[in-house]
């Protein structure tokens, strides 16, 4: 290979390297700026193919999409000095590339660390202005709107960041407060249970007393009806006896004596001491007389 050919290849390689260093591409999801000796000479480079001075200028690109800052759960005090554990997150993106680069050296970790501190401070102030009820439900939407506006203003001014939204994922009580609340709720439920049991016993006693009263009334009515029926039966029996006695008094007397004998001498061990001339033995000495 001749020197001319080698020189041509070197020239082609140099041109290729210079061309490679002279062009850069910014994608649709990126934000870019051009630095010359560490100084920003072009900011907010739009997406597409661009030219820069080779070896003199450098390109820095950053993620231009909507990003999420998920902060750890923090403890805050309400207006009544009640502690709350608040879990929140923020949605943000780069609004001013030059300011973002100047404030954070283009590092996302530094940006999120400073944004997290501002979010924590803003939440502390907003929670401290409200009662527990307002934080949990009464003014929760207003709280998030206020902290979003305040955080967006300060982040734009200091970090070149636009805060799109701030949301509170969860609000809970501290562990020690949870325990006391649980114990109080348990005691309240126990008190309600005792009240329900007492009302149940009172109702049961009333039902039992009413059942006993109805039981006694039914028995009394049944006894009264039974006595009436028994009285009617006795009256009918007495009437039948009377009719039978009037038809044949002597036979009736004889029949009653036989019944008396049967009842008196029903057991072999019965002993009666009577006068033989007693009226009781008159039908043993003589039979009934017919008229």
Question: In the prediction, which pLDDT does 15 show?
Answer: 61
User: d(Cα 251, Cα 162) in Å, to the nearest integer?
Assistant: 130
Q: Which residue has the tokens 């072999």?
A: 268
**Average of pLDDT values for 94-118?**
90
The whole-angstrom separation of Cα 177 and Cα 83 is: 8
User: What pLDDT is stored for residue 200 in this prediction?
Assistant: 92
**Rounded CA Rg of the chain:** 57
Residue 119: closest CA among 156, 148, 158: 148
The pLDDT score that the predictor gives to residue 16 is 66
How high is the pLDDT of residue 165? Answer: 92
Q: What is the average per-residue pLDDT within 90-112?
A: 90
CA-nearest of 58, 54, 51, 67 to 21 is 54
Tell me the per-residue pLDDT of 224-242, one tens digit each, with 9 for 90 and over: 999 999 999 988 888 887 7
Helices (H), the chain: 3-22, 97-104, 108-128, 132-133, 140-159, 175-247, 249-264, 282-285
The dihedrals phi and psi of 77, each to the nearest 5 degrees, come to: -110, 135
Alpha carbon 75 to its chain centroid, in Å, reads: 24
CB 101 within 8 A of CB 50: no
Cβ atoms of 79 and 133 closer than 8 Å:
no
What pLDDT sits at residue 242? 78
- Interatomic CA distance for residues 142 and 32, integer angstroms: 36
- Return d(Cα 123, Cα 148) in angstroms, integer: 10
Domains, the chain, ranges and CATH? Answer: 3-63 (no CATH), 67-172 (3.30.479.30), 210-285 (no CATH)
Alpha carbons within 13 angstroms on the beta-carbon side of residue 155 total: 30
pTM for the complete prediction? 0.55
pLDDT digits (tens, 9 = 90+) for 11-31: 766 666 666 667 777 888 888
């Amino acid at each position: 290979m001749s020197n001319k050919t080698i020189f041509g290849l070197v020239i082609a390689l140099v041109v290729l390297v210079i061309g490679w260093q002279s062009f850069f591409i910014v994608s649709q999801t990126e934000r870019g700026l051009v630095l010359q000796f560490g100084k920003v000479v072009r900011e907010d480079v739009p997406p597409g193919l661009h030219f820069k001075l080779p070896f003199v200028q450098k390109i820095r690109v950053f993620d231009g999409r909507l990003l999420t800052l998920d902060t750890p759960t923090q403890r805050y005090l309400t207006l009544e000095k009640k502690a709350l554990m608040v879990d929140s997150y923020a949605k943000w993106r780069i609004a001013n590339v030059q300011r973002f680069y100047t404030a954070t050296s283009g590092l996302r970790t530094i940006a999120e660390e400073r944004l997290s501190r501002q979010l924590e401070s803003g939440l502390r102030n907003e929670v401290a202005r409200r009662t527990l009820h307002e934080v949990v439900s009464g003014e929760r939407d207003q709280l998030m709107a206020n902290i979003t506006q305040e955080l967006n203003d300060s982040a734009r001014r200091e970090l070149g960041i636009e805060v799109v939204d701030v949301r509170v994922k969860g609000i809970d009580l501290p562990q020690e407060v949870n325990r006391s609340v649980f114990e109080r709720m348990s005691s309240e439920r126990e008190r309600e249970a005792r009240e329900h049991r007492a009302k149940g016993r009172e109702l049961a006693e009333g039902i039992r007393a009413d059942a006993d009263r109805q039981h006694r009334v039914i028995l009394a009515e049944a006894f009264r009806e039974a006595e009436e029926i028994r009285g009617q039966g006795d009256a009918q029996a007495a009437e039948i006896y009377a009719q039978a006695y009037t038809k044949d008094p002597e036979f009736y007397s004889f029949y009653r004596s036989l019944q008396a004998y049967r009842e008196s001498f029903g057991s072999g061990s019965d002993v009666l001491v009577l006068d033989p001339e007693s009226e009781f033995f008159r039908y043993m000495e003589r039979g009934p007389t017919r008229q």
